[in-house]
Amino acid sequence: MLDIKFIRENPDIVKKACQVKNFPDVVDDILKLDVRVRELKTITQTKTAEKNKISKEIPTSSDKAALIAKSKAISEEIANDMAELAEKEVVLNDLLHRVPQIPDASAPIGDDDSANVEIRRIGDIPKFDFTPRPQWELLDMNGWWMPEKIANICGTRVYALCGELAELDLAVQTYTIQKLIAKGFKYIECPSITKPQTIFNAGHFMGSDLAVMNDDVFMLTNTDRCLAGTSEIILNSLHADEILNENELPIKYTGFSQCFRKEAGAAGRDTRGIVRVHQFNKVEQYIFCKPEQSDEMHEFILNNMCELMEDFELPYRVIANSTGDMGFNKVKMNDVEAWFPSENSYRELGSCSSIGQFQARRINTRYRENATGEVKFVATLNCTGIALPRALVPIIENHQNADGSVNIPKKLQPLMGGRTKIGGKH
């Protein structure tokens, strides 16, 4: 969320953010409520001081009854004012949680992903001397999944990998985690079960009503828990209500977890294969840093993901996401898209996001400056390490052979027992 003082002093900037991010403009409502809330606080403080003064005068007064009556009347006024204040603060809090983060000046302006801008393109698109197979044909012919059985057992948009592809999936996860640890990240194996408030605190949803998450999040019936859609949710809250030492920053975490999403808005999309599923595994990068370190850290974690694309020998491109495509809580966002031969196009494998102090205000994570002793909110960033099984799709499609086998990228071969290919007739 944004600082109310910033909104007071920069209403036009906040209004513009609402406009370019396609969220309702509630700035005027906030400012009006803010005036009344501050007024009520002053009124109650003044009346409380008056009541306290009367209370001190009662013991020595010759007209105690009159003072007691006056004190009682003021108490009733204070109670009414406090009731209105509490009501107004609830509404104001909800409105403050409906204001989007201010996008960076470098972000392309646009309503949706059609306004995204390609920054760079790396790697050559493969040229096959045979008709390349889509992911589901490679999975079928090599016995790498069992879609009908799993659908009967578990329902749709659920998968199970088998044999060598399951091994490759584990190798990709392991390689990614090891690479990030070598770059200074602390590895955390995160739970997937969490509290709804923890998801809300990550700032992906508007308002203060947790029911807004019901279309996206699996709630666990008759409990106060739900399933997280990314380990970012857990990592974001690790330092809630803490004041960190400036020397600790930046703090770099890489989290691994199983992730769960309803994909309610994806009806009819990607119904074949393993691109869009309810449960998947993801390695995440997450950073707490000083605000002035944010741009440097953004490039650092984005570059880590790009290096992984190159390690997996995938043609890819980097996108600057438009204001209308970057979401509610982001300052700036870059998608990394790999080439999918079966679709003759690039598709997102992950994204890198700068959140500024938006999440830190929700979870109250701060740091103390060495020079001044001043306490400030940290900035946070997140970036995909790798998301599976989606990432397996461009790996097997780009590295496939005519017989249905798949060449293993060189850097993954040691984790695959030295094998150079899987599947096919080898």
Rounded Cα distance, 232 and 351, in Å? 12
Residue 276 falls in the annotated catalytic set: yes
β-strands 186-189, 251-260 pairing: parallel
pLDDT category, 203, cuts 50, 70, 90? confident
Domain boundaries, the chain: 4-96, 113-422
Band the pLDDT of 267: cuts 50, 70, 90. Answer: low
Q: Is the peptide bond before 389 cis (omega within 30 degrees of 0)?
A: yes
> Of the given ranges (8-12, 140-144, 211-215, 418-422), which has the lowest mean pLDDT?
211-215
Given this model, what pLDDT does residue 320 score? 97
CATH number for the segment(s) 4-96: 1.10.287.40
CATH class, range 113-422: alpha beta
Residue 406 has phi, psi (to 5 degrees) of -130, 125
Cα separation of the two ends of the chain: 56
| Catalytic-role residue among 263, 348, 368, 419 | 348
Dihedral of CA 119/122/124/126: which sign?
A: negative
Catalytic option among 98, 361, 362, 390? 390
CA distance 140 to 143: 5
Q: Residue 310, class by beta-carbon neighbours within 10 Å (0-12 exposed, 13-18 middle, 19+ buried)?
A: middle
294, 269 Cβ separation under 8 angstroms: no
The strands making up 345-356's β-sheet, listed across from edge to edge, are 117-122, 316-320, 332-340, 345-356, 379-388, 279-289, 251-260, 186-189
Residue 301 CB coordination number (10 Å):
27
The alpha helices in 229-328, defined as continuous H runs, are 232-236, 294-311
Read off the amino acid at residue 328. F
Cα–Cα–Cα angle for 280, 282, 288, nearest 5°?
A: 145
Which one of the listed residues 276, 347, 368, 419 is annotated catalytic? 276
Q: How many Cα atoms are found within 13 Å in the side-chain-facing hemisphere of 318?
A: 18
This prediction has a pTM of 0.91
3-state secondary structure at position 242? coil
280 forms bridges with which residues in the sheet?
A: 259
Gyration radius of the chain over CA positions: 27
Among the listed residues 98, 133, 261, 317, the single catalytic one is 261
Look up residue 167 and give its two tokens. Answer: 């091994």
| Average confidence (pLDDT) over 61-81 | 89
| Whether residue 348 lies in the annotated active site | yes
**86-102 confidence digits (pLDDT tens):** 999 999 999 999 999 99
| Confidence at residue 264, expressed as pLDDT on a 0 to 100 scale | 56
Least confident piece of the model among 154-158, 315-319, 329-333: 154-158
Instruction: Name the residue among 178, 302, 286, 313 with its Cα closest to residue 232.
Output: 286
Fill in the amino acid letter for 105.
Answer: A
pLDDT of residue 207: 76
Whether 61 is catalytic? no
**3-class SS of residue 52:** helix
| Active site (annotated) includes residue 8 | no
Q: From residue 108, give the alpha-carbon distance in Å to each of 18, 122, 332, 360.
A: 15, 21, 10, 25
